[in-house]
Structure 1
Amino acid sequence: MSERLVKLDRIDRNILAQLQENGDLSNTELADRVGLSASPCLRRVKLLEEAGIIMNKVTRLDARKLGLSLTALVQIGMDRHTPDRFETFEQTVASYPEVQACYLITGQDADYLLQVIVPDMDAYQSLLLDRITRIPGVTGVHSSFVMRKIVDRQALPLDYI
């Protein structure tokens, strides 16, 4: 279990919950929702940012409305389990905007699990055959395709802190 660098109280957790729900809140709106005046609220947010707990604020887009309707979960097997092989693979897939997530995994025949989003099967085939399988060390690929997203959240469960 890792140690938290910052002790969070109920108000900090509430600030984080509110920002996870809507990162576009103004400081005044956020302060009202958490029961603080604007200045103390802003100080707390700045401390949370400085501690690295709030990493960044992003806008989530609707992939389907942008024509990105195919999500694939791709298991990747590597030929050697060496730091240089893994570093090359990780740096390469990190440069592909279609790769939404990359996990080094255990408990499967695969070494990595990628979440990939593309417009259609043709785009997926091109990504897979022209780029992913050409990364040095990739020996096996197993693709599964998402039929429907049941849960798709970015918010962390704050009840544990």
Structure 2
Amino acid sequence: MPIKSKKLVKLDRTDRRILEQVQKNGAFTNQELAEQVGLSPSPCLRRVRALEEAGIIVRTVTILDQKKLGLDLTAIILIGMDRHTPERFAEFEEKVSEYPEVQECYLITGQDADYMLKIVVPDMDHYHQFLLNRITRIQGVSGVHSSFVLRRVIDTNALPLGYLD
């Protein structure tokens, strides 16, 4: 499959301020957002819609407190595959995308692993069951190395927009 070039969208300072604010709080009303960035509501709404249409604002989500929901264990799992074929990778990616425990999945390089997963489960027993009944049953998984998060030092989805100047 050929790699497609992505055309960068030109953003001005006001667009960047809008993006900074919506990354902090996607639940702002248009009126609140307009006040935060120094616009009147109509131009603010037009700009937000243009950013959505350009594909820069992909979606708005609500972040839940995992501890308050009893999801106390976050694990980082490095996974090695037995073969490095597009079919094997596609099969793995399709399977892990079905698991709600998986928050992130990356195909990586520079490690003795092919994939890195971030998963969230209630406790070690649930992790053990997830590992044995799901991950190790995916065809092609040849190695698994797990690490467990002790504390979140930085936990953000916000992109660094300072590079856009």
Query: Aligning the two structures, in what range does the TM-score lie when normalised by the shorter sequence?
Result: over 0.9
User: How do 1:65-144 and structure 2 match up within 5 A?
Assistant: 65-144=68-147
Measured on the aligned residues, the alpha-carbon RMSD in Å equals: 0.9
Structure 2 unaligned regions, length at least 5: none
Match of 1:62 among 61, 65, 86: 65
Structure 1 unaligned regions, length at least 5: none
Q: Which residue of 2 aligns with 1:28?
A: 31
Where has structure 1 moved over 2 Å in runs of 4 or more? 2-5
Output the CA distance in 1 between the equivalents of 2:6 and 2:81: 33
Equivalent position SS for 1:29: helix
Equivalent position SS for 2:68: helix
Output the CA distance in 2 between the equivalents of 1:39 and 1:50: 16
Report the CA distance between 1:69 and its aligned residue: 0.5
Aligned residue type for 1:131? R
TM-score normalised by length of structure 1: 0.97
Aligned residue type for 1:119? P
> Identity, % of aligned pairs?
67
Equivalent position SS for 2:46: helix
Per-residue CA distance 1:102-142 (angstroms, 9 max, x = gap): 01010110000000100001100111000100001000000
Output the CA distance in 1 between the equivalents of 2:36 and 2:48: 14
Output the CA distance in 2 between the equivalents of 1:33 and 1:141: 46
Equivalent position SS for 1:65: coil
Aligned residue type for 2:48? V
Output the CA distance in 2 between the equivalents of 1:146 and 1:20: 24
Aligned length: 160
